[in-house]
């Protein structure tokens, strides 16, 4: 295990109105919160199975006890800091790189069926490239990573978060700075009811892709 690299998991406290707000337009809020909890459990299970060091960066302030009770107090929790998503990601990288970490990747929790192989490929890609990125179907990205000596905070500044332009604008900046980028396969975030329907169909074919999520959906929604 290389202790000089780290997976940064960005997560939110499972609170109504704070997670998966677009899904909540079409689902019961309690179901949305519980669904999100299973998303995170699936991602965390995959990350643990890689054997790579990781830290859980959470939001909002004051919820560490709630999150530790949910995910386990044996994990290391760090509060996200910043005025928007970009600033919070930048600060998370800066915090890791201020320690002995030389290679770091941020992963969100909106893709419970993200293959473990993609996570491993991200770190392999950083061995020969300055950056790595995983494009999302909706035009954003589900993962981004850097080596310490090639970290570029500029990619997190003034971005239209939550729109279909984020990946394209990020790549434009990386290309403009002549950074080599390893691009992972495209994958789907689950933000809307249509995304959830797509996930359900995928998990019917491969329940192991996100087992906790699949079992919850099976029990709650009678798949």
Full-model pTM = 0.94
- Predicted confidence pLDDT, tens digits, the chain (223 residues): 567 999 999 999 999 999 999 999 999 999 999 999 999 999 999 999 999 999 999 999 999 999 999 999 999 999 999 999 999 999 999 999 999 999 999 999 999 999 999 999 999 999 999 999 999 999 999 999 999 999 999 999 988 888 889 999 999 999 999 999 999 999 999 999 999 999 999 999 999 999 999 999 988 765 4
Number of domains in the chain: 1
Look at residue 163 in the predicted model and tell me its pLDDT: 83
Look at residue 164 in the predicted model and tell me its pLDDT: 87
Domain CATH number, residue 107: 3.90.550.10
Look at residue 2 in the predicted model and tell me its pLDDT: 62
DSSP string, the chain: --TTEEEEEEEE---TTTS-TTGGGTS-HHHHHHHHHHHHHHHHHHHHHHT--EEEEEESTT-HHHHHHHH-TTS-EEE--SSSHHHHHHHHHHHHHTTT--EEEEE-SS-TT--HHHHHHHHHHHTTSSEEEEEBTTSSEEEEEEEGGG--GGGGSS--TTSTTHHHHHHHHHHHTT--EEEPPPB----SHHHHHHHHHHHHH-GGGGHHHHHHHHHHH--
Look at residue 221 in the predicted model and tell me its pLDDT: 65
Give the structural domain span for 58: 5-221
């Amino acid at each position: 295990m290389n202790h000089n690299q780290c997976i940064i998991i960005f997560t939110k406290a499972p609170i109504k109105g704070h997670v998966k707000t677009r899904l909540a337009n079409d689902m019961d809020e309690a179901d949305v919160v519980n669904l999100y909890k299973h998303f995170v459990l699936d991602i965390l299970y995959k990350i643990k199975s890689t054997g790579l060091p990781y830290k859980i960066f959470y939001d909002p302030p004051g919820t560490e006890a709630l999150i530790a009770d949910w995910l386990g107090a044996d994990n290391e929790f760090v509060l996200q800091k910043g005025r928007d998503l970009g600033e919070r990601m930048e600060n998370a990288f800066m915090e890791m790189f201020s320690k002995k970490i030389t290679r770091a990747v941020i992963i969100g929790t909106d893709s419970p069926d993200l293959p473990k192989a993609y996570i491993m490929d991200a770190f392999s890609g950083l061995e020969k490239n300055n950056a790595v990125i995983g494009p999302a179907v909706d035009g954003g990205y589900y993962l981004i990573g850097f080596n310490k000596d090639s970290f570029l905070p500029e990619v997190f500044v003034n971005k239209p978060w939550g729109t279909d332009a984020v990946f394209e604008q990020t790549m434009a900046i990386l290309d403009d700075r002549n950074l080599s980028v390893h691009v992972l396969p495209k994958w789907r975030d689950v933000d809307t009811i249509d995304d959830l329907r797509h996930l359900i169909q995928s998990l019917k074919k491969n329940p192991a892709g996100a087992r906790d999520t699949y079992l919850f959906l099976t029990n709650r929604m009678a798949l």
